[in-house]
Amino acid sequence: MKNDHDDIEETLDPQDWDELRALGHRMLDDTLDYLSSVREKPAWQPVPESVKRRLEQPLPTEPQDAAAVYQEFLENVLPYTNGNRHPRFWGWVQGNGTPLGMLADMLASGMNPHMAGFNQAPALVEHQVLAWLTEMVGMPPETSGVLIGGGTMANITGLAVARHAKAGFDVRELGLQANDHPVLTLYGSTETHGWAQKGAELLGLGNRALRRIRVDNEFRIDIDALRKAVDVDRRAGRRPFCVIGNAGTVNTGATDDLAGLAHLCHEEKLWFHVDGAFGALAKIAPSLAPIVAGIEQADSLAFDLHKWMYLPFEVACVLARDANAHREAFTLKPSYLGESSRGVLAAGLPFAERGIELTRSFRALKVWMSLKAHGVNAFGRLIEQNCRQARYLADLIEASPDLELLAPVPLNIVCFRFAPKDVSPDALDRINEEILVQIQESGLAVPSSTRINGDFALRVANTNHRSRQEDFDLLVREVSEIGKTVVSQLLSARK
Ligand SMILES: Cc1ncc(COP(=O)(O)O)c(C=O)c1O
């Protein structure tokens, strides 16, 4: 049966471009208004029950007015994020995003190029960005790289290259199923981020193959213990293949002795992978670069640009010193992606050959525009500013009789707790857990938490280009005030 729609060829372009243009201009103005006044807004607010209900709707089958849909977004979505745009957001490790980065994302989305490679300017932009990032972290110009969604995927991609290069057999062809190969083992400190476990599991190595090496008092890997662990595995017939070094651990911002690890890996013929999710970019801050010295010797290095380059999610980078090893870990030549010396495919698909993804977005544009418009030195200065602010916060904590610093502050992370002398140590975890949620619920600030040597810690990770010194004064005042109220509530509850 023929129906009315059969005669009409549809498109998702608007019927009235002027109408969409006006709506688009409104969206842009509203977003810039929001960002320019974000300091006056709560750092976080829970999604009200009424809004949750409004966000549960049946699958829309028929069109709604785009302006009305936008209005719903303004009311029900925009105000209720996890808060990372705010000047007092210091939870986990999350950048704020930047207004220019947002505009670049809009342009990238408008262009919508397919970034497997191809003979196109956007691919040249990504090549340029990778060359700049390589220079920023001090790796040699021949280094190969690719932009990826996040630190987890960038690290796992580096680990996949390591596994292929160092397995000692054709791991792509044989996999890890055959029983006649030695068990592959890899090493990282107990402070290594959870991506390493996900990676070991996903790559078929198994969580057990990831050896967690103890750390010293400053949360840096104990290289003697590492050397012994490698030796024990070798003697037992296993095949150590990779060491993960940390440039800025997630808990405390500690950096391993990267030069020492590079030396050990060279001696032991192990792949040296560095997780520099945020810490790698300390390399562009002159006063901090010595902390990450040795990072440039990595065989592979992963770092985020959505953390300490503050760019909107998602953008990270993995670099591999040996471009062939990088390619060989992923390259495929199916006939439908056949090579050509002319036409759209002339430049090949280099980015598809450096990771798992085939279809990729033009993430490089926001990095390219931001490095050009702000200059790399601005990022170096902001990273130094974040570390100065962290040191300032640590000094306030040390000067306060009610607060206790729980870990050294080598970079931008501060772990501390409310611990007045007259409160029993047994009660401190519970008190600080309550302080944390009260601070978040008040909308004042968003720190997160971790455990340091078993103790619950309030944790401030400063990758925030909007924070000011006064924000840390306010945090310290509020933690002390809320802490006192929580203690008196606990005491009166016991009576
Ligand atoms: C040290 C470290 N490595 C890896 C990651 C994972 O990065 P992503 O969240 O971008 O996947 C993080 C995230 O905070 C991190 O701090």
Q: Is the pLDDT of residue 1 over 70?
A: no
With a cut of 70, say whether residue 5 has pLDDT above it: no
CA of 151 to the centre of ligand 1 (A): 5
Q: If 0-12 CB within 10 Å is exposed, 13-18 middle and 19+ buried, where does residue 3 land?
A: exposed
CA distance 110 to 101: 14
Report the alpha-carbon distance of residue 75 to residue 96 in Å, rounded: 21
Overall average pLDDT of the 196-214 stretch? 98
The residue to which tokens 């372009």 are assigned: 13
Among 73-87, 213-227, 323-337, the least confident range: 323-337
Percentage of the chain modeled with pLDDT above 70 = 99
Task: Give, in order, the Cα–Cα distances in Å from 336 to each of 112, 213, 330, 332, 360.
Answer: 21, 46, 17, 11, 17
Three-state SS for 102? helix
Tell how far the Cα of 316 is from the centroid of ligand 1, in angstroms: 10
pTM above 0.85, yes or no: yes
Confidence of residue 335 (pLDDT cuts 50, 70, 90): confident
**Whose structure tokens read 């090893």?**
325
Quick one: what percent of the chain has pLDDT higher than 90?
Answer: 94
* Residue with CA nearest ligand 1 atom 5: 151
Per-residue pLDDT of 358-368, as tens digits, reads 999 999 999 99
Q: How far away, in angstroms, is 193 Cα from ligand 1 center?
A: 7
Q: Could you tell me the distance, in angstroms and rounded to a whole number, from the CA of residue 278 to the centre of ligand 1? A: 8
Residue type at 192? T
Other residues' Cβ atoms within 10 Å of the Cβ of residue 145: 26
CA of 16 to the centre of ligand 1 (A): 44
- pLDDT (0 to 100) of residue 6: 62
| Sheet strands (E) in 66-157 | 144-148
- CA 37 to chain CA centroid, Å, is 25
Question: In the structure, which protein residues have their CB atom closer than 6 angstroms to any atom of ligand 1?
Answer: 92-93, 150-152, 155, 193, 195, 248-250, 275, 277-278, 304, 316
Residue owning the nearest CA to atom 8 of ligand 1: 151
Mutation probe of ligand 1 site: the residue of 304, 412, 413, 462 with most atoms within 8 A of C-beta: 304
Ligand 1 pocket mutation, candidates 307, 412, 415, criterion most atoms within 8 A of CB: 307
